[in-house]
Amino acid sequence: MQLKDHSVEALREVFAARGVERWRADQVAGWLYARGVEEVAAMTDLSRELRAELAESWEVRALEVEREQRSADGTVKAVLRAADGARVEAVVIPEEDRNTLCLSTQVGCPLECSFCATGAFGFTRNLSTAEIVDQLCRMRELCGPERRITNLVFMGMGEPLLNLAAVLEAIRLFVHPKAFGLAPRRITVSTVGVVPKIGELLDVAPVHLAVSLHATTDAVRDELVPLNRRFPLDALLGELRRLDTVNRRRPVFFEYTLIAGVNDSLVDARRLPALLRGIPAKLNLIPMNPHEDSRFLPPDEASVDRFLREVAAGGLRVTLRRSRGPDIQAACGQLALRDERAGATAAGALGDRFRV
C-alpha cells in the first residue's frame, strides 16, 4: 500500500482497522509532508512496531526524478517516473512573491484539444493520489528551501476533473494542517469544463477554479475543445452561475489561448464581457505557445494588445499571461515528453480547418 494515497482522515481509518492508534496517522503525515522526511527509520517518535509495519507493508515514494531542466528565467521542469515506467512532467515557476508548482493529473490526456501538445500525446492512465502528491515532494526537494513552493496549479498534463477522486484526496493532503497546510486559495484547479464534476470539486475545498474557455461561440469551441460538444458554453457558464461563486468570494479565472485567425477577432473580444456576465470572472489571455504538433500560431503583439484593450473596455477584468520556460518546453500546452515518443503524432484532425 502507498502511504501517500491516503488523506490524513483516510489513513487514520486504515490504521485503526489494522489495530494502530488513529493519531499515529497525524504523526506519519507530519514526517512525510510537513517535514519532508521519507526514511521510516528516521521517524523517531513512532513506536518500534509501527516503524516495522511501515517498512514492511507500506510504500513511501511514488515518483523518482528522471531528468531536470532549468530555464534561463528560473523555471524548473522535471520529468518524473512512476513505478510502472509512466512519466509525467511538473514545472515550478518562480514569480516575485510566490513559487508556483504546476501539477499533472494524468499521463497524457484523453480530451484532444486541437492546440495542446499534451492532447496530441494521447492518454495512458490516471495518476494516483500518491503520484500527484509526490510531484510536490520531489519538486520541493529539487527547489530547496530558498525557493519554497507557495502555490499549486493543476495545469500540467491531463484533465483534473476526469481524475477527480485522486485529485480530491491530494487536495485534502495539500490543505490539511498536519500535512502541507496550504491555504485553499493558494490552489487553482483548471478544467476544460466537465460540468457535472465542478460542484463536487468546490464542495471539498474552496480552491480557485480556472476554466479553459478559448472561444466565444460553440462552433469555434467545438473545434478547439472537443468536449464542448458534450458540455456546450450554455451548460458550462450556466453551471458556473448556478454555483454562486460570488458568495464564495472567489473569482473564476477563464483561460483564453489566443490563436491567430481563429479566436482573436475584435468581435470575440467584444462578446467576452457579455458572455461571462453574472460570473465573478477574471480573464487570462495566453498567446498560443507554438509547438510541433500544431500549426496554430499566436497573433502578433499589436493584435494581442488590441484584443486586451477591447475586452477591458467592455468591463471585464483581463490580464495577459507571459509564458514561462519556453526554452525548456515548459510553457502552457507544451508538456508532452517529446523525447519519449516513437514518432510525432499529428495534431487532432479537428484542428485542420483552422490552421494558418
Which one among 26, 134, 159, 223 touches ligand SAH, defined by CB under 6 A?
A: 159
The nearest distance, CB 46 to ligand SAH, in angstroms, is 37
Contact mark string toward ligand SAH, 97..116, x via CB under 6 A? ----------------x-xx
Strands (E), the chain: 63-70, 76-82, 87-95, 98-102, 106-108, 123-126, 151-154, 187-191, 208-212, 252-258, 281-287, 317-320
Residue with smallest beta-carbon separation from ligand SAH: 333
Instruction: For residue 288, give the amino acid letter.
Output: M
The nearest distance, CB 43 to ligand SAH, in angstroms, is 35
Binders in 182-201 for ligand SAH, by CB under 6 A: 190-192
Which of 89, 112, 169, 223 does the annotation list as catalytic? 89
Task: Please identify, using beta-carbon distances, which residue of 11 and 337 lies nearer to ligand SAH.
Answer: 337
Contact mark string toward ligand SAH, 318..347, x via CB under 6 A? --------------xx--------------
Task: Please identify, using beta-carbon distances, which residue of 119 and 273 lies nearer to ligand SAH.
Answer: 119
Asked whether the beta carbons of 93 and 75 are under 8 A apart, the reply is yes
Total residues at interface with ligand SAH (CB under 6 A): 17
**Cβ contacts of 323 within 8 Å, gap of 6 or more:** 286, 287, 289, 331, 332
Binders in 228-287 for ligand SAH, by CB under 6 A: 255, 257, 286
Q: Report how far residue 161's alpha carbon sits from residue 306's, in angstroms, rounded to the nearest whole number.
A: 33
User: Is 288 one of the binding residues for ligand SAH (CB under 6 A)?
Assistant: yes
Task: Please identify, using beta-carbon distances, which residue of 328 and 332 lies nearer to ligand SAH.
Answer: 332
Q: Report how far residue 163's alpha carbon sits from residue 143's, in angstroms, rounded to the nearest whole number.
A: 27
116 counts as catalytic: no
Q: Report how far residue 192's alpha carbon sits from residue 112's, in angstroms, rounded to the nearest whole number.
A: 11
137 counts as catalytic: no
User: Is 155 one of the binding residues for ligand SAH (CB under 6 A)?
Assistant: yes
Angstrom distances, CA of residue 279 to CA of 60, 250, 269? 42, 10, 17
**Cβ contacts of 78 within 8 Å, gap of 6 or more:** 65, 66, 67, 68, 69, 89, 90, 91, 138, 139, 142
Which of 109, 113, 116, 332 does the annotation list as catalytic? 332
Write out the DSSP string of 224-239.
H-GGGGTS-HHHHHHH
User: Is 299 one of the binding residues for ligand SAH (CB under 6 A)?
Assistant: no
Binders in 30-89 for ligand SAH, by CB under 6 A: none
Task: Please identify, using beta-carbon distances, which residue of 38 and 239 lies nearer to ligand SAH.
Answer: 239
Binding site for ligand SAH (CB under 6 A): 113, 115-116, 155, 159, 190-192, 212, 255, 257, 286, 288-289, 291, 332-333
Looking at the annotation, which residues are catalytic? 89, 332
